[in-house]
Structure 1
Amino acid sequence: MIDLFVIKVGGNVIDNPTLLEAFLQKFAAIKGKKILIHGGGKIATRMGDQLGIASRYVNGRRITDAATIDVVTMVYGGLVNKQLVAKLQANGCNAIGLTGADANIIPAVKRPVKEIDFGFVGDVTTDSVQAAPLQALLEAGMTPVFAPLTHDGKGQILNTNADTIASSLAIALSQHYSVRLIYCFEKKGVLHDANDDNAVINLIDRQIYEELKADNVLTDGILPKLENAFAAIESGVAEVLIGHADDVQSNTTDTVAGTLIR
């Protein structure tokens, strides 16, 4: 029986007030213990533009220089996080906003410079995540809401991928709970046909995954999500689900609308 849901919601929902309100109502209605991890990259880009701080990307990843880390800290840890917390409170969910620096929950290491200097970007190791503070909050009936920020233990905030934070939290907490990690995005799940949004594959295990790869059914975009999903499962997470943000509430039940990975 699943007794903790770790849910990551993507930027396309965060950026749209109507979609966001609908998502938060459904998230608030989920019974039991839950954690929310959010992004907010497009909002950070807009705020940076207003401040005259241009966003730079390499291979789709943000370069986080000294000016940019200030912007993303303000936007992710302040504006977006506290708006989500306030909206969840309005929906009867006792949320508490956090970053990885709070209670030292997610220490990280600044990404080493190789071919590219990503700046103040944090890489997380699963064994560094401190589960005890989160357990205390969950057992007290609170719902942690995480911004995609960590810290290096020396006073520096680091920008960290929200998918990575979700996976790291799920793995650390799987030592204490049966965890379903849910990635919410704009598709209904893993698809048999990338051009048919209704061609959802409802269940994938390692054997089915290898067969789908061999048959070239999976697109390049979904492969990293599935590899991360199996890495989480192999590290103790009971289940991973990939599905549409609209289906978040039903995807915490036994009858899922997305793709359940075991």
Structure 2
Amino acid sequence: MLVVKCGGNAAVDPAAVCREVAAVARAGREVVLVHGGSGDIERLGARLGVPQRTQISPDRVRARHTDDATLELVTMALTGVVNPRLVAALQAYGVNAVGLSGLDGGLLRARRKAPQRAVVDGRRVLVRGNRAGTVDRVDAGLLRLLLHRGLLPVVSPPALADDGSPVNVNADRAAAAIAGALPGAELVLLTGAPGLLRDPADEDSVLAECAVAPDGPPPGYAHGGMALKLVAAREALRAGVGRVRIADGRDAARVRAALAGAGTAVVLGAPADRGAAA
């Protein structure tokens, strides 16, 4: 079982990712594709005049600030633009895919985020009314049913909160939760870099391996969205996922390259990384 998360970074080539995922699926491996879509969300937000804000938590993790208008925007972009595009690409590559959001069949259940201190637009504030959550339950039976029927699930946020309302969830962490709910799954997080970089300005500084502590903030050299990927990787490992890799999603052959060892392997360990530049 393989769970692949296709990043929304503009550098990631979704057509190449779908071609790779389709090749792995045609070779007989069960695959679930999870996606975000930050680039499409930002483009649609600009067209509709919905400003985008980010918030930075005390442990330096950057996330999208989700108010009511942003939740509508995220839902439109992911379920109306990105998900159908990926499903169509997989169909074109000979794989029968089905698109789902976390709302469909109650696939992803989330715990709504409580008010929390964060930096928003440069100001430290107490964030209330955030329409975001954290996935805490996955209907693995629904995914297994689809896979058994020969379908490749393509999954996006939002998820369903306990009060029955939709909430935005981070796609990396959703992929980690899905991998953790599927016994024997391997998780590959694709991004717009060759892996986790010790120096974000130097692509030759990719780490072959990175150890993350079971809790606490990610390593200090993990910046922006990469810090959140390490949080997701840790959650997957704690849920029992045997192998987690952060790998390059910018051109062809990257999924199979990641399965063969490219990118950065993430493991549970001491707070400092155990990696060495590849």
TM-score by length of 1: 0.82
Q: Would you say 1:170 and 2:175 are equivalent positions?
A: no
The DSSP-based 3-state class of the residue aligned with 1:256 is: coil
d(CA) in 1 for partners of 2:163 and 2:141? Answer: 21
Q: Would you say 1:44 and 2:41 are equivalent positions?
A: yes
After TM superposition, give the deviation of residue 137 of structure 1 in Å.
0.9
Contact 1:191 1:218 survives alignment (8 Å): no
Match in the other structure for 1:251:
258
Q: Which amino acid aligns with 1:165?
A: A
Q: Which amino acid aligns with 1:138?
A: L
Q: Which amino acid aligns with 1:81?
A: N
d(CA) in 2 for partners of 1:256 and 1:39? Answer: 24
Match in the other structure for 1:213:
none
The DSSP-based 3-state class of the residue aligned with 1:37 is: strand
Match in the other structure for 2:14:
20
Match in the other structure for 1:233:
237
Candidates 2, 7, 27, aligned match of 1:5: 2
Contact 2:198 2:221 survives alignment (8 Å): no
Candidates 102, 111, 119, aligned match of 1:100: 102
d(CA) in 1 for partners of 2:257 and 2:103? Answer: 32
Unaligned runs of 5+ in 2: 57-61, 117-125, 214-218, 268-278
d(CA) in 1 for partners of 2:231 and 2:108? Answer: 22
Match in the other structure for 2:53:
56
After superposition, the Cα gap between the structure-2 partners of 1:10 and 1:79, relative to the gap in structure 1 and judged at 3 Å, is same
> 1:72-111 maps to which residues of 2 (within 5 A)?
72-111=74-113
Aligned residues: 240
TM-score by length of 2: 0.77
Candidates 182, 185, 195, aligned match of 1:179: 185
Contact 2:9 2:38 survives alignment (8 Å): no
Unaligned runs of 5+ in 1: 211-216
| CA RMSD across the alignment | 2.4
The structure whose residues are more often strand, as a share, is 2
Deviates more, 1:192-201 or 1:243-252: 192-201
After superposition, the Cα gap between the structure-2 partners of 1:150 and 1:197, relative to the gap in structure 1 and judged at 3 Å, is same
Contact 2:19 2:93 survives alignment (8 Å): yes
Contact 2:140 2:182 survives alignment (8 Å): yes
After superposition, the Cα gap between the structure-2 partners of 1:226 and 1:29, relative to the gap in structure 1 and judged at 3 Å, is same
